[in-house]
C-alpha cells in the first residue's frame, strides 16, 4: 500500500519555542492531508485539513496562528507548532487519502510524532 512518512518521530523542546513536523507521501500524490492530535488513551482528534496550493481548513477550537500548516507540494505538508507550551505535548499524526487506484477512500497514516514540551 501507499506510504506516508513523518519527521521527526520524537521531539523535545523548551516552552516558547517552535517545532516543525513534516508529513510526506512517498509513492503517491496527496492534494489533501489531515493532521490529528492524540492524547494518551484518547481517540484521534482532527486538527486541520491541509490543501495543496491553498489555505488549510481548521477544526473548531484549533488556533490557526498557533498551528501553522503549509502544503507547498503534492507530497509534503508541514505542521509548525508555534510558541509551544507543555499542554501542546501530544502525539501528532498526519494522514493522506490515496487518490485513484483500487481504493480511493483508503487513508494512510504517518508513523506519528511524539512532541514533549518542557
Partner 1 sequence: GENVEQHPSTLSVQEGDSAVIKCTYSDSASNYFPWYKQELGKRPQLIIDIRSNVGEKKDQRIAVTLNKTAKHFSLHITETQPEDSAVYFCAASHRGSTLGRLYFGRGTQLTVWP
Strands 19-25 and 32-38: unpaired
Is there binding between residue 25 and partner 1 (CB under 8 A)? no
- Single out the residue of 70, 80, 107, 116 in contact with partner 1 (rule: CB under 8 A): 107
| Subset of residues 30 to 69 that bind partner 1, contact rule: CB under 8 A | 32, 34, 41-44, 46, 49, 57
Which phi and psi angles does 14 have, rounded to 5°? -85, 150
User: Smallest distance from the beta carbon of 86 to partner 1, in angstroms?
Assistant: 19
Residues 67-106: x/- map of binding to partner 1 (CB under 8 A)? ------------------------x-x-xxx-----x-xx
Query: Which of 37, 26, 42 shows the shortest CA–CA distance to 91?
Result: 37
69 CB neighbour count, 10 Å cutoff? 23
User: Smallest distance from the beta carbon of 89 to partner 1, in angstroms?
Assistant: 14
> Looking at beta carbons only, is 82 or 107 nearer to partner 1?
107
The contacts of residue 20 (CB under 8 Å, 6+ apart) are 78, 79, 80, 81
CA distance 8 to 28: 20
Residues that bind partner 1 (CB under 8 A): 32, 34, 41-44, 46, 49, 57, 91, 93, 95-97, 103, 105-107, 109-112, 114
Amino acid at each position: 500500500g501507499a506510504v506516508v512518512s513523518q519527521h521527526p518521530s520524537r521531539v523535545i523542546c523548551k516552552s516558547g519555542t517552535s517545532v516543525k513536523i513534516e508529513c510526506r507521501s512517498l509513492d503517491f500524490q496527496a492534494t489533501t492531508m489531515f493532521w490529528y492530535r492524540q492524547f494518551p488513551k484518547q481517540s484521534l482528534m482532527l486538527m486541520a485539513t491541509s490543501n495543496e496550493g491553498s489555505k488549510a481548513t481548521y477544526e473548531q477550537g484549533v488556533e490557526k496562528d498557533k498551528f501553522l500548516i503549509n502544503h507547498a507540494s503534492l507530497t509534503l505538508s508541514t505542521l509548525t507548532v508555534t510558541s509551544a507550551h507543555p499542554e501542546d505535548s501530544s502525539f501528532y499524526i498526519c494522514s493522506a487519502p490515496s487518490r485513484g487506484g483500487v481504493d480511493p477512500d483508503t487513508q494512510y497514516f504517518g508513523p506519528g510524532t511524539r512532541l514533549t514540551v518542557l
